[in-house]
Structure 1
């Protein structure tokens, strides 16, 4: 039986898009008959045992201290995680070490893998130097940016095989000189077994939020996620007065939180559309479906940047899986997921007027809604269901022994 050890930045029981993708991969691999475990680094901040079970999955925890001095801290993190991987394989020797970005995880994993003659896969979910720029913790072209990119390139070159979540990342690696044959795309997906019938609309909650007028349900635009600058939520709020000019009963529901929350709340309060915008804050994961059920359209107005052009988000796929209409800005990551006027609608990024027009046109054409919803769900089923996507990893793992033999490395 194949054993896969996944090397991770963080994991369940923490909740994030990163941990949900990890859970989906590990559960789907278990369903394939493989044994799986994870090992996390110091950025997993939840308290727990050194070997912890979460949602039926086992995770080894690395322990230690990396200090606070920049660059030295990251170097120490790699060392701590390296020792954590060593401890894990001393009690549970895997056939494959499968590291997931950031490059800190990959650097620790390739070191241990080469030392023990274990095959190593490195999976990139985003280039973390670009993610740092997008979330405001870094700047393009800085020393840290260049060093992170250099480390990424080194890990990619050292790994036996590379996986990315989308074509944008794959194309960028090929442009850097990585052989195309070394890279496999395992696209973002959802575990459709978790999505049964969509939750029923909670009429009491809708009335409480002011989403009914004279007993009629208002059309609701929703965003549920993290409030980062690159998400373009300021453009969505700026679009609301223009949308109300054509759809006076429209409402905007904002669920979540993050670095831009205070700014966005202030912007909404100062807007002529303030009466039509509701902020809920963060909600427990098990309550998210209640708010999805209130929404007619899920909006994803990401700003155009290197990050958003290269990386595909998970949220639009989750919305399609729940039978929601999807409206998204036409950045590269969205264009990989949404086909305009077939599985959703696309509008120019960084343009509140274009966003408002697209939403108004969609709300004015309810006869198209069922077709769009059905096509969106079919798209997820055919290309983004983890029960099917997991087979891509089988193909990657099967070619690894041949690749290691070619490179002159021992095969475990």
Structure 2
């Protein structure tokens, strides 16, 4: 039985798009009969034992060394500590393949250990670390840190035995860096249909509690980062309410922009139509999907959003919800305008209001669009199907690589 060790930034029990994708991959691989384990680095912030089982998945943890230091020195220490932890897992568990997931620090540690032990390694990129840093405000595009991280990423990709990316945008970028396209597979974001494919009915009591009775509900469920464009969505609400007086905006989640967004909403003429719920337990998320008519994703136009596909629109489609999103590259890979969803110009509150008002006015087409979108997810973005993309790559790596000796 093939053993796969996944090297991760963080994992369950933390909740994020990153951990949900990891859970989906590992669970689907287990269903195929593979043995899987995860090893998290020092950025996994949840307390817990050195070996932890969550949702039937086993994770090893890198001990927290709690060593500070200036940038670069700190990151090099993270790489060294993760590599040391990896050595211990390899000695005790003997994996056949190392599957390292971004950020690039994980790939650097994994490549060091994989080469030493003759284990083939696949590097999976979910987003380029340098672009994520720009979006989070911790780096400047074109700055020294950005250029260094870009160089490290390119170096790691070229040294990996195989590369996986979550979308065509990332693949295209790597090809422009001189990476052989034959070395790259696309393993797109997907949905666990066992979890999201059977939506719950609306909760009348919750609807009343939130003041959404007889409302046309626009929803956003996720993290409040600047690049998500929620400020544009709030700015669109006065125009939308003018066209559709029953329209209300339901914001579920939290993040760095929450305080600023609440302040913006309080100063809006449509403040009575904007409802902040805050963060909710993951097991309750479906209840909020059930209250919405349209899920809106107004991501801003920038390098990260042009290259990377998000997970949330797929979950919304699986839940049978209508989807409206900005026409950035990451959304265009997921949504066919007028067929599985509606696309509008990014960074444009008036375009958002116009698109949403048009959708709310066209109820006759809702059922057909919901069915088409859900069928698309089930057919092309279901993890039970997506995970099979790894199988031929793993097979090639095992045929080419030097498999470690295992007593069992």
Superimposed CA distance per residue, residues 369-399 of structure 1 (whole angstroms, 9 cap, x where no aligned partner)? 1111001101101111010111100011112
Q: SS where residue 60 of structure 2 aligns? A: strand
Contact 2:190 2:311 in 1 (8 A): yes
1:20 aligns with 2:17: no
Superimposed CA distance per residue, residues 28-47 of structure 1 (whole angstroms, 9 cap, x where no aligned partner)? 00001100001010000111
Instruction: Return closer, same or farther for 1:196/1:181 CA change in 2, 3 Å cut-off.
Output: closer
Q: Distance in 2 between matches of 1:153 and 1:189?
A: 26
Give the match for residue 238 of structure 2: 241
Superimposed CA distance per residue, residues 151-198 of structure 1 (whole angstroms, 9 cap, x where no aligned partner)? 111110111000000000000000100000000000000111112531
- Give the stretch that moved more between structures: 385-394 or 192-201: 192-201
Contact 1:303 1:331 in 2 (8 A): yes
- TM-score (norm: length of structure 2): 0.97
Superimposed CA distance per residue, residues 28-78 of structure 1 (whole angstroms, 9 cap, x where no aligned partner)? 000011000010100001111111111111111111234242110001000
Give the match for residue 294 of structure 2: 297
Write out aligned runs for 1:173-192 (5 A).
173-192=174-193
- TM-score (norm: length of structure 1): 0.96
Give the match for residue 332 of structure 1: 329
Number of matched pairs? 403
Give the match for residue 50 of structure 1: 50
> Where in structure 1 are there 5+ consecutive unaligned residues?
405-409
Q: Distance in 1 between matches of 2:149 and 2:198?
A: 43
Q: SS where residue 39 of structure 2 aligns? A: strand
Q: Which runs of 4+ in 1 moved over 2 A?
A: 401-404
Write out aligned runs for 1:46-195 (5 A).
46-63=46-63, 64-195=65-196
Q: What is the Cα deviation at residue 403 of structure 1?
A: 4.9
1:226 aligns with 2:226: no
Instruction: Return closer, same or farther for 1:305/1:403 CA change in 2, 3 Å cut-off.
Output: farther
Give the match for residue 362 of structure 1: 359
Contact 1:199 1:293 in 2 (8 A): yes
Contact 1:303 1:350 in 2 (8 A): yes
Q: SS where residue 328 of structure 1 aligns? A: strand
Q: Distance in 2 between matches of 1:345 and 1:196?
A: 21
Contact 2:197 2:318 in 1 (8 A): no
Q: Distance in 2 between matches of 1:166 and 1:278?
A: 33
The RMSD of aligned alpha carbons is 1.0
376, 381, 401: which one pairs with 2:378? 381
